[in-house]
Amino acid sequence: MIEKLPLLTTKWQNSNDCEMNPENFQLLLRNEIPSIRISKFASSEECNKLALAINKVGFDFYENVEPPIGKIGVTQFEHINRDKIEYFEAVKKAKETYDQVTSLSFDPLKRLTAILRKNASSKVQIAYENEVYGYYFAGLIRHINIALLHLDFAPLDAPNWEIGNITSQLVWNFYVKAPSQGGVCKVYNRQWQPEDEKYKTPASYGYDHSLVATSEVKHNIPLTGDLVIFNSRNFHEVVPAIGERITISSFIGKMPGGDLVFWS
């Protein structure tokens, strides 16, 4: 499955923030632009209310991830080498916590779904495994002040899951709280391919920077209230931040039939 997917390495048409519209969404899926930014996706008041609710719940941390990354919710990636049932059993609690937080302000996933149905596809929903396991979780809340060079791509991370059938994968980050300095997400015009695994750092999720040394790069600046979407098969990283950097995010996968699905 992985080897049959096309490698999209065309030069980006521009290096600027692109607005959300039907044409740009298709360009992003084809890796012809680096990202889409929805400016003022949420108001300052909405972000403040979310931040208060998030702080009240508090963060857990990924296991065996350095530097540490705080999270509220559950990810499929954490369950790569575990029984699927563990992930899907954790989904219910994660969804309840997400609803608890968003009920005090607004639901970013619901708002983005409406935008995507207008600009991308009428069929947008939470990813579904099967009638045995049910729906995935979407809407991960993270305190992430630094992240190593990596990629996110379900055919690599979840080859035996339903999401492993996607043909392209995006990720959205909604900035609930931007840091006072730094915290930029650098996205490189280099899409993962199987032979890149030799660049992976042992006992880490990160990859060696020599892999992207000559690649175009887009600097996505975190701004409170903005939402940024980019192609998560592209290698990307978060440079160190000063101050809190809190996001809500999930992946957007395009299924073979054209439907869009969310998961975290």
Which CATH number does the domain housing residue 43 bear?
2.60.120.620
pLDDT in tens, the chain (264 residues): 454 455 555 789 988 889 999 999 999 999 999 999 999 999 999 999 999 999 999 888 776 666 778 899 999 998 988 889 999 999 999 999 999 999 999 999 999 999 999 999 889 999 999 999 999 999 999 998 889 999 999 999 999 999 999 999 999 999 999 999 999 999 999 999 999 999 999 988 999 999 999 999 999 999 999 999 999 999 999 999 999 999 999 999 999 999 999 999
Handedness of CA 165, 254, 36, 34 (dihedral sign): positive
In a domain, 8, yes or no: no
Q: Which tokens go with 229?
A: 């979407």
Give the Å distances, CA to CA, from 240 to 9, 52, 144, 192: 27, 23, 9, 23
Report the C-alpha gap between 65 and 72 in whole angstroms: 15
In a domain, 197, yes or no: yes
Q: Quick one: which H or E segment has residue 54?
A: helix 44-57
In a domain, 4, yes or no: no
In a domain, 95, yes or no: yes
Number of domains the chain contains:
1
In a domain, 184, yes or no: yes
In a domain, 17, yes or no: no
In a domain, 5, yes or no: no
Domain hosting 45: range is 22-263
In a domain, 74, yes or no: yes
